[in-house]
């Protein structure tokens, strides 16, 4: 079974600064996807960024980028130029790439607060 | 609306009662997922539908939980003899599941269930 671990329950950052959220995972699969989701107080999960395990290049989406270390099974999220609207819970998630139900396995989350 | 909708937004019930939670997926999405998010945790997979059939129900915690999707669109999660431990946010997600390759799951805002 796959597990996802987020070791930082809470983090805070000043507006316009950079913050990195950590995630490690455990799997015996070779082909999979990794994700970061944002969950604001409205509860709706929003996909922030996705990484395919077979790709060596780290994914980027505007101010969001990841540091994917496949051998170390590490997948951190860097948020640059933090904005007040980035305040939310952030969840790291895993999905097998082939076969099965494509169910997501989530970590426990990191609560990020961006301070003005 | 174009997104996944869930009703009710909040549900308060008494221990031992029966509840139904409804999910309306994005039109045309054949795959539908239910997740449960307990306080302070990440979402946990419950069940996955491909069309009308439950393709993976391995996450249902016990036989008090049941879900249906009779016409391949709207789904209802049913919980019998509710217990206080069932209190959580129940999230629904849908995806296109058009075949090979990645299919993004789009989440609804969830139903917060409170069992007194």
Higher confidence at residue A41 or residue B36?
B36
pLDDT at A92 over 80: yes
Q: Judging by DSSP bridges, how do beta strands B5-7 and B19-24 pair with one another?
A: antiparallel
* Strand, coil or helix: B17: coil
pLDDT at B100 over 90: no
From residue A19, give the alpha-carbon distance in Å to each of A79, A98, A114, B10, B116: 5, 33, 10, 34, 40
In whole angstroms, give the CA distance from residue B107 to residue A44: 6
Banded pLDDT at B97 (limits 50, 70, 90): confident
Higher confidence at residue A50 or residue A99?
A50
Residues of A in contact with B35 (CB under 8 A): 104
Question: What value does the mean pLDDT take over residues B27-48?
Answer: 95
Residues of B in contact with A106 (CB under 8 A): 42-44
Host H or E run for residue A92: strand A88-96
Asked whether the beta carbons of residue A103 and residue B104 sit closer than 8 angstroms, the reply is no
Give the ranges where chain B is alpha helix by DSSP (H): none
In whole angstroms, give the CA distance from residue A22 to residue A8: 7
> Of B100, B110, B98, B87, whose CA–CA distance to B33 is shortest?
B110
Give the percent of chain B with pLDDT over 70.
Answer: 97
From residue A8, give the alpha-carbon distance in Å to each of A54, A112, B15: 27, 10, 34
pLDDT, mean over chain A: 94
Q: Which of A93, A103, A108 sits opposite B48 (nearest CB)?
A: A103
> Of A36, A11, A12, A10, whose CA–CA distance to A23 is shortest?
A36
Q: Which of A4, A44, A105 sits opposite B109 (nearest CB)?
A: A44
């Amino acid at each position: 079974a796959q597990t996802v671990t987020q070791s930082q329950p809470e983090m805070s950052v000043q507006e316009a600064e950079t913050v990195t959220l950590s995630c490690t995972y455990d799997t015996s699969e070779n082909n999979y996807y990794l994700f970061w989701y944002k969950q604001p107080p409205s509860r709706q999960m929003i996909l922030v960024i996705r990484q395919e395990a077979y790709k060596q290049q780290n994914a980027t989406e505007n101010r969001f980028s990841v540091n994917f270390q496949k051998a170390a099974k590490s997948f951190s999220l860097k948020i640059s130029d933090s904005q007040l609207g980035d305040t939310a819970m952030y969840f790291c998630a895993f999905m097998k790439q082939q076969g099965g139900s494509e169910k997501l396995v989530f970590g426990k989350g990191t609560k990020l607060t961006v301070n003005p | 609306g174009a997104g996944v909708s869930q009703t009710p937004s909040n549900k308060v019930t008494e221990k031992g009662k029966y509840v139904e939670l409804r999910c309306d997926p994005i039109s045309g999405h054949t795959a539908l997922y239910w997740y449960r998010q307990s306080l302070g945790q990440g979402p946990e997979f419950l069940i996955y539908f491909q069309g009308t059939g439950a393709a993976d129900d391995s996450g249902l915690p016990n036989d008090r939980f049941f879900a249906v999707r009779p016409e391949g669109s709207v789904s209802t999660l049913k919980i019998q003899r509710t217990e206080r431990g069932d209190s959580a946010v129940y999230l629904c997600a849908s995806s296109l599941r058009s075949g090979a390759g990645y299919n993004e799951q789009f989440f609804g805002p969830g139903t917060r269930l409170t069992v007194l």
